């Protein structure tokens, strides 16, 4: 009986000691890792060199100018459309149609 009691006490003692020691060591490892991780992950700001595009300045300027003024300045006028959408211009420039007496007789 005494032997049995002794064995139980010894077993509990060993278990409790073992569990205490492992908890301490884990805690220590985690702390160490955390520090290392925080150092590695933290982003660093680095300045990147950007090549300047010679057109980009013009584009910015374009955006700031009046669009109407810009189109007329940049695109050549489409004279075909200008004239052929202008009823009065077409009337003014139309060739007079030849008027000749219709000589057809009967329904064609």
- Integer Rg of the chain from CA: 48
Q: Kindly state the smallest distance separating residue 103's Cβ from other proteins, in Å.
A: 4
Q: Kindly state the smallest distance separating residue 75's Cβ from other proteins, in Å.
A: 12
Q: Are 41 and 34 in contact, with CB atoms under 8 Å apart?
A: no
In whole angstroms, give the CA distance from residue 92 to residue 32: 93
Binding region for other proteins (CB under 8 A): 76-85, 87, 90-91, 93-95, 97, 100-108
Angle at 52 between CA 51 and CA 56, to 5 degrees: 135
Nearer residue to other proteins within complex by CB, 37 or 83: 83
Nearer residue to other proteins within complex by CB, 12 or 89: 89
In whole angstroms, give the CA distance from residue 97 to residue 89: 16
Nearer residue to other proteins within complex by CB, 16 or 72: 72
Q: Kindly state the smallest distance separating residue 66's Cβ from other proteins, in Å.
A: 23
Q: Kindly state the smallest distance separating residue 102's Cβ from other proteins, in Å.
A: 8
Q: Residue 76 region, left (φ>0) first, then alpha (ψ -120 to 50), else beta?
A: beta
Nearer residue to other proteins within complex by CB, 54 or 108: 108
């Amino acid at each position: 009986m005494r032997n049995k009691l002794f064995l139980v006490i010894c077993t509990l003692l060993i278990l409790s000691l073992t569990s205490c020691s492992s908890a301490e060591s884990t805690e220590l490892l985690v702390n160490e890792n955390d520090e290392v991780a925080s150092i590695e992950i933290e982003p660093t700001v680095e300045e990147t060199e950007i090549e300047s595009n010679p057109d980009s300045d013009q584009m910015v300027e374009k955006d700031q100018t009046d669009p109407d003024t810009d189109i007329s300045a940049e695109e050549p006028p489409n004279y075909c459309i200008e004239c052929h959408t202008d009823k009065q211009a077409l009337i003014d420039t139309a060739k007079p149609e030849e008027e000749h007496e219709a000589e057809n007789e009967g329904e064609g």
